[in-house]
Chain A
């Protein structure tokens, strides 16, 4: 019983009695975790936007007028077999005209005159693809099928946008990883310094006859406490800050196709991650530094 409680008690006492050192360690944890949180928010949202853009890119396939309804059914089956194709919707000439008119808004009404026999549009398929990156590939395969007049997918621009978003997201991920490593390094260093100032303390403990485990355990608790205390403020800022940003932007970035990640449960997942990062870094920092000093003294 005493063995389990003691490290916690001693850890708390150590934290309080070395107040200045504890505060500087907590600050270091706080600042880095805040930065990590910021970049995670950005990266995750970019990811979200990329997928939402990708899901909106559809392939529009126009079918030759000669193709009969039976053959259209056959074509649909063939397209569905192409890997990556999720859904194939048939849209006849009439529906195509509706879409065309709608895309011109109010002024589109004049095109109503083309409804019926005079409709110059073609029957079409509207195809959803599982991943944006597959669009090009799927289009090429469809183009090779019989009875296809043309294949369109919002053109090169859509692909370019997806490409750009993907590369921004990837560089964001790299940045987060680099930042994460930097955070671990910075925090470990700060904790190392705070423990360095207590090197003589560690040596004395060993001289008196304390085992390594006995010496180490309160320091580990102290590291965990520093991690927890250092992650509180970043977590609060993340939860309320993101909520505020999300609400003031109405959940979208610039245009309605760029949908932001909903606040809940996203901020909680993020908070969990931040706390975990803080605790593990605190623990690791303490463990490494204490163990190093224990090895140098006999």
Chain B
């Protein structure tokens, strides 16, 4: 499903973000990606989202060589992956409903079916009452859920969530995880969740990949995480 073979990324300004990453994630897996700031998590997402090209190696998603995608083909690729951005990226001049609708309009979906699907996902993320609100009228958690609704509206094969619980309290965070679990279970969507939140990783145990300074330092299928002080000991 997702395959990274020998992937390195060096930015134009000389910053090395990833070194020789090898990774395989299967269909309908739920994976955490953890690591400190600057460990290369965001770069990994950008590579998967076709925002950046790998300097070296192969990034393959659903059999598509993402690094080689032409500028004009990228939009079509992106419709198969939903991304929940850390900074939300909601369109400020559109309501919640329109924001979610936009993700379906771009695929030229039948408007009637599209509206129905929007209502469906808004109900799933519990935002039905806020559907005519603009993003700046929502709380952080509500915006977060709106982004999730938009990301899943198109029934993507893969959902990438960048710190989806970053600015939520523990209770709300739990709700988001449960929501993602439901999407993973019911829609068979592969989920990649980048997080800082050790609590969540320990509470909802799943395969956990730890990045540090551009290297994969641990890939724990059984999940869980032990805070490491000076060494890289993890289980």
What number of residue pairs across chains A and B have CB atoms under 8 A from each other? 57
Query: In the complex the two chains form, is B72's CB within 8 Å of A211's CB?
Result: yes
Q: Which of A2, A3, A205, A207 contacts B49 (CB 8 A)?
A: A207
| Residue of A whose beta carbon sits closest to that of B109 | A2
Tally A residues with Cβ within 8 Å of B.
Answer: 20
Q: B interface, by DSSP: helix, strand, loop or mixed?
A: loop
In the complex, are the beta carbons of B150 and A208 less than 8 A apart?
Answer: yes
Note all chain B residues with C-beta closer than 8 A to A211. Answer: 72, 75-76, 106
A2 touches B111 (CB 8 A): yes
Residue B207 interfacial (CB < 8 Å): no
Contact of B106 among A13, A14, A209, A298 (CB under 8 A): A209
Known A208-B150, A298-B51, A298-B71; contact A17-B103, beta-carbon cutoff 8 A:
no
- In the bound complex, CA of A168 to CA of B60 (Å): 69
B23 at the interface (CB under 8 A from A): no
Q: How far is the CA of A6 from the CA of B91 in the complex (A)?
A: 17
Whether A298 pairs with B50 at a CB distance below 8 angstroms is yes
Contact between chains at A201 and B92 (CB < 8 Å): yes
Cross-chain contact B71 with A214 (CB below 8 angstroms): no
> A210 to B106, Cβ gap below 8 A?
yes
**Chain B contacts of A208 at CB under 8 A?**
78, 89, 102-103, 106, 150
Which residues in A have their C-beta under 8 angstroms from that of B105?
A: 6
B115: shortest Cβ distance to chain A, in Å? 12
Cβ of A95 under 8 Å from chain B: no
Cβ-based interface call for A204 (8 A): yes
Say if the beta carbon of A18 comes within 8 Å of chain B: yes
Q: Is the CB of B75 within 8 A of A209?
A: yes
Return chain A residues, CB-CB under 8 Å to B76: 209, 211
Nearest residue (CB) in A for B102 is: A208
Contact call A207/B106, Cβ cutoff below 8 A = no
Judge if A206 is at the interface, Cβ distance under 8 Å. Answer: yes
Q: Check B89 against A2 for contact (C-beta < 8 Å).
A: no
Assess A3 versus B75: contact at CB under 8 Å? Given A204-B91, A207-B49, A298-B52. Answer: no
Interface string of B46-81 (1 = CB under 8 A from A): 000111100000000000000000011011111100
Question: Which residues of B are found within 8 Å of A150, using beta-carbon distances?
Answer: none
Indicate whether A212 reaches chain B with its CB closer than 8 angstroms.
Answer: yes
Please give, as numbers and ranges, the residues of chain A lying within 8 Å of B49 by CB-CB distance. 207
* CB-defined contacts of B150 to chain A, threshold 8 Å: 208
**CB distance B91 to A17 under 8 Å?**
no
B134 nearest CB across to chain A (Å): 9
Q: Specify which of B106, B107, B108, B111 lies most central, judged by the most chain A CB atoms within 10 Å of its CB.
A: B106
Q: Is B230's CB within 8 Å of the partner chain A?
A: no
Q: Is the CB of A201 within 8 A of B91?
A: yes
Q: Are B83 and A207 in contact (CB under 8 A)?
A: yes
The chain B residue sitting closest to A212, CB to CB, is B72
B106 touches A201 (CB 8 A): no
Cα–Cα, bound, A210→B103 (Å) = 8
A-chain residues with CB within 8 Å of residue B74 when the two chains form the complex = 206, 298
B-contact bits for A267-298, CB 8 A (1 contact / 0 none): 00000000000000000000000000000001
> What 1/0 flags go to A6-20 for Cβ under 8 Å of B?
100000011001100
A210 to B94, CA, bound (A): 15
Give the docked Cα–Cα distance between A18 and B150 (Å): 23
Q: A207-B51, A209-B76 are in contact. List 18 more A-B contacts (CB 8 A).
A: A2-B111, A3-B108, A17-B93, A204-B89, A204-B90, A204-B91, A207-B49, A207-B83, A208-B103, A208-B106, A209-B78, A209-B107, A209-B154, A210-B75, A214-B106, A298-B51, A298-B71, A298-B74
* 21 intermolecular pairs with C-beta atoms under 8 Å apart: A3-B108, A13-B93, A198-B93, A201-B93, A204-B90, A207-B85, A207-B89, A208-B78, A208-B102, A208-B106, A209-B77, A209-B78, A209-B79, A209-B106, A210-B75, A210-B102, A211-B75, A214-B75, A298-B50, A298-B51, A298-B71
Q: Which 3 A-B pairs have the closest CB atoms?
A: A209-B78, A209-B79, A210-B106
